[in-house]
Amino acid sequence: MDRGRTWGLTGRPWTLRRKLVWAQTALVVLLVSLLAFTATLLLQRSMVAQVDTQLRTAQSRAAAYEPQLRFVPQAQSNPSSPSKPLPPSELEDSRPGSKQFDPKRSGKHDDLAGRVPDGLGAPGQRTGTLLVSVQSGVVKAGVITEQGTFRQLDAAQTNALTALSVSREPQTVHIPRLGPYRVLVSAVSMPADTSKNQTVSTGRFVTGLSLEPTFELRRQFWYFELALVLLGALLAVLASRFLVSRTLRPLDEVAQVAQAAAQVPMSEGKVEIGVRAPVSDPRTEVGQVGESLNTLIGHVETSLAARSASEQRLREFVADASHELRTPLASISGYTQLARRYEAELPAEVAGHLERVAAQSARMTRLVEQLLLLARLDAGRELSLAEVDLAGLAMDAVADAQAAGPDHEWSFDLELPEGGENDEELALPLVLGDADKLSQVLMNLLGNARAHTPAGTEVKVLVRPRPGAWQVLVSDNGPGIDPSELDQIFERFARSDDDAKRVEGHSGLGLSISRAIARAHQGDLTVESEPGYTVFTLTLFSLI
């Protein structure tokens, strides 16, 4: 896996655009979530404080309805000593199902007199208000139901409330089957009854208000904030995509310019790239990237122009030198042939030297002719174009190669195009080209196959159609070409580094000339090779 690239869960790379969009969206969602959480927390505190105020008001109403009770300041009470849970026997009358308790009664306070605190009947007490009075072992506990009736608390509910410590501040508790409540536990006293020889008695008075409405409002607020967060995330994605796309649009243009510059065939000698990145503001980061790219393209064009000029001077030098060499080489060849007329009168050693001079002068003449041909092809001189039958050229080339290399196995095949069986004109592999130059290409390819493969190698020549073109494939089952040499095989003077594989008389210009001829015909020459198989493919546009 590429360590320089970060991939998303979908398998797509995390581009700069995606990173910016999601980073901004995550930041917006985080901020909105923090605001929502803070708002909810503040709302809950405010609502609980409001409930606490209502709780103290409810306690004051209840105290007004029970004048016999006196609230004891906290300093005089013992907040660390909660009441012991009451046994079910002491709450027999307050359990549902007892003779004294009937939740289906009219709910008037008089019906439950002595079993629920009188404060429940105080005007203004709201639904869910509960009161618990513990005095001299007598427990009165009741709650106002949603129907507005009074109902006694059962043993578990009463024990949960009587177990609380006295406190000046309200506290939150969970009461069985009633849910969360905010309660205020106060110490109370009842004045002495001198007629019955009783002293002042102390007890507890618990006032509670349900927190269910508060929690329900909080839940609704949470749902609203969740919808707000989702909506904010959606809007953040859309806005971020728009802003990021607009901001990175110049960078996209720079990337397009870079791609266009990369597609210019500079290896073929083109020196002008001809594209520049638009720079709206060079003070921005994108503008600086565009300016840097334009500077780089300018340097590349300058370097290519300098290289092209140098190569052009070299071609002119080679062409001039070749022209100058033709005359002395012709003289050497002529004098050598003249001297060899008297070969019988010369010593054998001198005759051998003359034969060697004649062979080397012929080789030098061929090399000069090849260099002149490359110079003419580089100069773009017109070819002698005419209608050429590739099949005929290939058959003649195979026949000549078979005569020159009888130790190889040669074969020729022609693949007809679709419908060519019934149309002779369509079946002919006709191209527009220079017959002599194309024949030279085929002879070079077959000569290389003969020279660089061992005896017994099978060499096949196939002429086949392609859409709008014809191809000539020259393949063999020889040892193949070294992969390190494939990239330079069409370069001028390209030869193997292994001297043992060098063939006498080969200059290393044959394949370079062959490709130059193919491209002069607007075609191409390519090669594929692996151990046991090598194929050269000559592609030319069809005349029909």
Q: Which residue has the higher pLDDT, 544 or 19?
A: 19
Same domain as 122, residue 29: no
- The residue type of 422 is N
* Confidence category of residue 505, pLDDT binned at 50, 70, 90: low
Confidence of residue 415 (pLDDT cuts 50, 70, 90): confident
320 compared with 296, residue with greater pLDDT? 296
pLDDT for residue 131 is more than 60: yes
Q: What is the pLDDT of residue 477?
A: 92
pLDDT digits (tens, 9 = 90+) for 6-29: 555 555 677 777 788 888 888 888
| Tens of pLDDT, residues 372-387 | 776 766 666 667 788 9
Residues 429, 508 share a domain: yes
The long-range contacts involving 517-525, CB below 8 angstroms and separated by at least 24 positions, are: 517/377, 517/434, 517/437, 517/438, 517/440, 517/441, 518/441, 520/377, 520/380, 520/383, 520/437, 521/383, 521/431, 521/432, 521/433, 521/434, 521/437, 521/438, 523/469, 525/441, 525/490
Q: How confident is the model at residue 1 (pLDDT cuts 50, 70, 90)?
A: very low
Residue % of the chain over a pLDDT of 90: 13
Number of structural domains, the chain? 4
Helix-strand-coil split of the chain, %, nearest 5: 50, 20, 30
Give dist(CA 222, CA 36) in Å, integer. 8
In contact, 205 and 74? CB cutoff 8 Å: no
Q: Which residue has the higher pLDDT, 32 or 82?
A: 32
The reported pLDDT for the residue numbered 69 is 67
Q: Give the Cα separation of 100 and 198 in Å (integer).
A: 28
CATH number at residue 445: 3.30.565.10
| Residue 25 belongs to a domain | yes
Q: Is residue 6 assigned to a domain? A: no
Q: Which residue has the higher pLDDT, 386 or 87?
A: 386
Domain boundary among 351, 381, 411: 381
**Residue 3's pLDDT band (cuts 50, 70, 90):** very low
- Residue 233 counted as domain residue: yes
Burial 21-32 (b: 16+ CB within 10 A, else e): beebbeebbeeb
Pairing type for strands 179-190 and 70-72 reads antiparallel
Instruction: Tell me whether residue 305 is in a domain.
Output: yes
Per cent of the chain over pLDDT 70 is: 76
- Range with the poorest average pLDDT among 19-33, 111-125, 237-251: 111-125
C-alpha span between 359 and 354 (Å, rounded): 9
User: What residues have CB less than 8 Å from 224, skipping those under 6 apart?
Assistant: none
User: Do 503 and 415 belong together in one domain?
Assistant: yes
| pLDDT reported for residue 86 | 41
Q: What is the mean pLDDT of residues 460-477?
A: 92
Domain that holds residue 30: 12-65+215-263
Q: Are residues 86 and 223 in the same domain?
A: no
Q: Assess whether 296 and 173 both reside in one domain.
A: no
pLDDT for the residue numbered 421: 58
| Mean pLDDT over each residue of the chain, to the nearest integer | 77
Q: What is the mean pLDDT of residues 157-171?
A: 88
| 7 φ/ψ angles, rounded to the nearest 5 degrees | -110, 145
Residue 506 has pLDDT above 90, yes or no: no
pLDDT of residue 130: 92
User: Is 99 within a domain?
Assistant: yes
pLDDT digits (tens, 9 = 90+) for 306-357: 877 777 776 677 666 666 666 777 777 777 787 777 777 778 787 777 788 8
In this structure, the answer to whether residues 330 and 472 fall within a common structural domain is no
pLDDT at 61 over 80: yes
Report the pLDDT value the prediction gives residue 10, as an integer from 0 to 100: 53
* Final residue in a domain of this structure, among 364, 381, 398: 381
Give the per-residue pLDDT at 398.
92
- At position 530, the amino acid (one-letter code) is E
Whether residues 40 and 85 share a domain: the answer is no
Pick 121 or 476 by higher pLDDT.
476
pLDDT (average), residues 519-537? 90
Helix, strand or coil, per DSSP, at residue 408: coil
- Same-domain pairing of 196 and 138: yes
The answer to whether residue 408 is domain-embedded is: yes
- 413 and 518 co-located in one domain: yes
Q: Is a pLDDT exceeding 50 seen at residue 77?
A: no
- Show the tokens assigned to 220: 């609704």
Q: What is the mean pLDDT of residues 235-243?
A: 85
Nearest to 123 by CA among 152, 144, 140: 144
Is residue 247 pLDDT above 90, yes or no?
no
29-38, 349-358, 402-411 — which is least confidently predicted? 349-358
Least confident of 74-78, 327-331, 343-347, 495-499: 74-78
Answer yes or no: is 203 within a domain.
yes
Q: Find the DSSP H helices in 112-173.
A: 155-162
Same-domain status, 199 and 273:
no
Instruction: Indicate if 54 and 104 belong to the same structural domain.
Output: no
Structure-model confidence comparison of residues 1 and 115, the more confident one? 115
pLDDT at 98: 34
List CB contacts of 490: < 8 A, sequence separation 6 or more.
511, 512, 515, 525, 527
Cα Rg of the chain, angstroms: 53
DSSP 318-383: HHHHHHHHHHHHHHHHHHHHHHHTTGGGS-HHHHHHHHHHHHHHHHHHHHHHHHHHHHHHHTTPPP
Asked if the structure places residue 7 within a domain, the reply is no
Give the CATH number of the domain where residue 364 resides.
Answer: 1.10.287
Asked if 446 and 523 sit in the same domain, the reply is yes
pLDDT at 124 over 70: yes
Q: Pairing mode, if any, of strands 430-433 and 386-389?
A: antiparallel
pLDDT at site 340: 76
